[in-house]
Structure 1
Amino acid sequence: MDVSFLGGPEPQRGVGIVAPFDFALDRELWRWVPDDVSLHLTRTPFVPVEVSLDLARLVSEHETLREAVQALSAVRPEVFAYACTSGSFVAGRAGEHAMGLAMTQAGESPAVTTSGALLDALAELGARRVAVVTPYTRSVTDSLEDFLAEAGVQVTGRSYLGLTRHIWRVPYRDVVGMAREAVTGSPDALFISCTNLPTYDVIPQLEAELRMPVVSANQVTMWAALSRIGKTAVGPYQALLDPVARRGPASLASLPQPAAPPAEPAAPPEPKALAGSGLPTGEADPAEAAAEGTLPEDPGPPPAL
C-alpha cells in the first residue's frame, strides 16, 4: 500500500524535561500537552537517598543539570523544564534563578523550573495568599514555605503527608483530603506541591468545591514551558489554563457576597373558626368559658324599682 501521499507525521515542537531519577508520572505531563508538541524526558542519576532536603540538593546540582540538558540537546527542544519542586526551591529564589541560568546556558534555549513556574502562575492569578499541600516531611514543607515567603507569598494553611518514598502512589482521595484540611485563613489559591504527586484529574473538582484557583507542580511546569514557545497547555476547566474557568466557581471565593434582603414583617395570622362554634379564634365560647369558670356569675334579674 502506497502511503507516500500522507506526507509523514505532523511537525512537532519539542520540550525537554529534566526530572529526578524517581519521577513516575510521565503520562501525567503528556496530558497537559497539545498534539503538536512532543516531550523529551531524561532523568538525573540515581542516588540512594530518600525524599528529603538532601535529595533535593543532590538532584539539582548544576553539573547534573548541565549534563541532562546536553543529553536532550541532540533532539533540539525549544525549551527546557526542570520538573522537580523541592529541587528548585531548596536553595531559595537565588538558587532557583541560578538553576534556570545554568540550564539555559547548557542548552542555548529558554529554561524553566517548577518553583519558578509556580511563582509565575501565582502572579498570573493575582494570588498572594496560598494554602499548601505537600507529600513531604515537615522540614521539606518548611523549606517550601520559606521559598514562598521570600517571594512575598503568605502561606495561610498547609497539610503534608510526611512521605520519603513512593509518592506517586498517593491516591486522589488523599490529595483531596489534604486540600480540604489546608484551606484555612481565606487563601487566594491552593498549591499542590511535588511533580511526583498525581493531580491532573482532581484540579477541576477542587476548584469547584473550594471556590478558588488550584495549581499543581506538574500543571505549572507544563504551563510555563509551553508558554515560552507560544503554546497553550490543555486541561479540563482549570483557572490557570482556561479564562472561562477563571471567571467561574474558582473566582467566587473572592467576590463580595450580596447582602440578604431585609425580612418582611410577618402578617398576623388570619382568625380560624373553632369547630362547631362559629366564633373566630381567640374568642372563647361562652358556654365553654362558663364551664371553666372564666365568665362572671349571672347576677340574676335586675331589682324591682
Structure 2
Amino acid sequence: MDVSFLGGPLPQHGVGIVAPFDFALDRELWRWVPDDVSLHVTRTPFVPVEVSLDLARLVSEHETLREAVRALSAVAPEVVAYACTSGSFVGGGAGERAMVAAMAQAGEVPSLTTSGALLDALHEIEARRVAIVTPYTKSVTDSLEDYLDESGITITGRSYLGLTREIWRVPYRDVVDMAREAAGDAPDALFISCTNLPTYDVIPQLEAELRMPVLSANQVTMWAALRAVGKEAVGPYQALLDPVARRGPAAMTPSPPPPTADETGGLHEPGGSEPGPEPEAALAGAGTEAAEPLESAGELGAGPPAADEWGGQPPL
C-alpha cells in the first residue's frame, strides 16, 4: 500500500528534561505536553543517598548538569529544563541562577529549573502569600521556605510528610490532606513541591475546594519549558494555564440573551419565561456542590469545577 500521501510525521518541538536518578513520573510530565512537542528525558547518575539536603546538592552539581545537557544536545532540544525542585532551591537564588548558567553554557540552549519556573509562575498569577506542601523532611522544607523568602514570598502555612525515599508512591489522598492543612490562612496560592510527587489530577479539584490557584513542581516546570518554545501547556482547568480559571469559575457563566419586545411594547425574556434572578443572586447559590470536600481518591478525575469566585478573595 502506498502511504506516501501521509507526508511523514509532524515537525516536533524538542524539550530536554534533566531529572534526578530516582525520578519516576515521566508520564505525568507528558500529560501537560501538546501533540507537537516531544520530551527528551535523561537522568543524573545514581548516588546511594536518601532524599535530603545532601542528595539535593549531589544531583545539582554543575558538572553533573553539564554532562546531562551535553547528552541531550545529540537530539537538539530547543530548551532544557532541570526537573528537580529541591536540587534547584538548595543553593538559594544565587545557586539556582548559577545552575541555569552552567546548563546554558554546556548545551548552548536556553535553560531553566523547577525552582526558577516556580518564581515565574508566582509572578504570573500575582501571588505573594503562598502555602507550601512537600513530601520532604523538615530540613529540606525549611530550605524551600528560605528560597521563597529570599525572593520576597511570604509563607502562610506549610505541611510536609518527612519522606526520604519513594516519594512517587504517595497517593493523591495524602496530597489533598496536606493541602487542606497548609492552606488555612488565606494565601494567594498553594504550591505542591517535588517533581516526584504526583499532582496532575489533583490540581483542578483542589482549586475548586480551596478557592485559590494551586501550583505544582511538574506543572510549573512544563509551563515554563513549553512557554520558552512558544507553546502552551495543556491541562484540565488549572489557573496557571487557563486565564478563565485564573479569574475564577464565575467568569465562565454565559451572559443572558437580550430581552425582546412583545406586541404591547413590553420586554420579556426569550421563550416567554419570567425574568431570572439578578446575576449576583444566581452566583450566590452557585458552586455549592463543588465546594464540598473531596471524599475519595476516585473523585479526583472528575471534570472541571463549577465553583464560585475564589473564596471571596480578589481575582488574580
Report the TM-score range of the alignment, normalised by the length of the smaller protein: 0.7 to 0.9
Match of 2:311 among 230, 240, 253: 253
Counterpart code for 2:129: R
Q: CA deviation at 1:251?
A: 5.3
Could you tell me which runs of 5 or more consecutive residues in structure 2 were left unpaired when the two chains were aligned: 250-307
List per-residue Cα deviations over 1:67-105 (Å, max 9, x = no partner): 000000000000000000000000000000000011111
Counterpart code for 2:235: G
- Aligned residue number for residue 54 of structure 2: 54
Q: Distance in 2 between matches of 1:11 and 1:229?
A: 13
Q: CA deviation at 1:52?
A: 0.2
Q: CA deviation at 1:248?
A: 1.6
How many residues are aligned here?
A: 257
Say if 2:118 is the partner of 1:118.
yes
TM-score by length of 1: 0.83
Q: CA deviation at 1:7?
A: 1.2
Q: CA deviation at 1:254?
A: 5.2
Q: Distance in 2 between matches of 1:38 and 1:252?
A: 35
- Aligned residue number for residue 88 of structure 1: 88
Taking the TM superposition and a 5 Å limit, the aligned residue runs for 1:81-230 are: 81-230=81-230
List per-residue Cα deviations over 1:174-228 (Å, max 9, x = no partner): 0000000001221000000000000000000000000000000000000001111
- Aligned residue number for residue 299 of structure 2: none
Runs of 4+ in 1 over 6 A off after TM superposition: none
Which is worse superposed, 1-10 or 48-57? 1-10
- Aligned residue number for residue 255 of structure 2: none
Q: CA deviation at 1:253?
A: 3.1
Q: Distance in 1 between matches of 2:127 and 2:309?
A: 11
Q: Distance in 1 between matches of 2:18 and 2:313?
A: 39
Cα RMSD, aligned residues only: 1.2
Counterpart code for 1:255: Q
Q: Distance in 1 between matches of 2:241 and 2:311?
A: 19
Q: Distance in 1 between matches of 2:120 and 2:181?
A: 25
- Aligned residue number for residue 20 of structure 2: 20
- 1:66 and 1:102 in contact (8 A); partners too: yes
Counterpart code for 1:62: H
Closer, same or farther in 2 for the Cα pair 1:256/1:40, shift >3 Å? closer
Q: CA deviation at 1:256?
A: 6.1
- 1:213 and 1:251 in contact (8 A); partners too: no
Closer, same or farther in 2 for the Cα pair 1:57/1:246, shift >3 Å? same
Q: Distance in 2 between matches of 1:41 and 1:96?
A: 20
Q: CA deviation at 1:6?
A: 0.7
TM-score by length of 2: 0.80
SS of residue matched to 2:159: strand
- 1:89 and 1:96 in contact (8 A); partners too: yes
Q: Which has the larger radius of gyration?
A: 1
List per-residue Cα deviations over 1:125-153 (Å, max 9, x = no partner): 10000000000000000000000000000
Q: Distance in 2 between matches of 1:241 and 1:64?
A: 32
Counterpart code for 1:243: P
Q: Distance in 2 between matches of 1:188 and 1:116?
A: 19
Counterpart code for 1:252: W
- Aligned residue number for residue 72 of structure 1: 72
Q: CA deviation at 1:231?
A: 0.6
- Aligned residue number for residue 288 of structure 1: none
SS of residue matched to 1:156: strand
Q: CA deviation at 1:247?
A: 1.4
Q: Distance in 2 between matches of 1:69 and 1:129?
A: 34
- Aligned residue number for residue 285 of structure 1: none
- Aligned residue number for residue 294 of structure 2: none
Q: Distance in 2 between matches of 1:103 and 1:48?
A: 24
Calculate percent identity across the aligned residue pairs: 83
Q: Distance in 2 between matches of 1:174 and 1:251?
A: 26
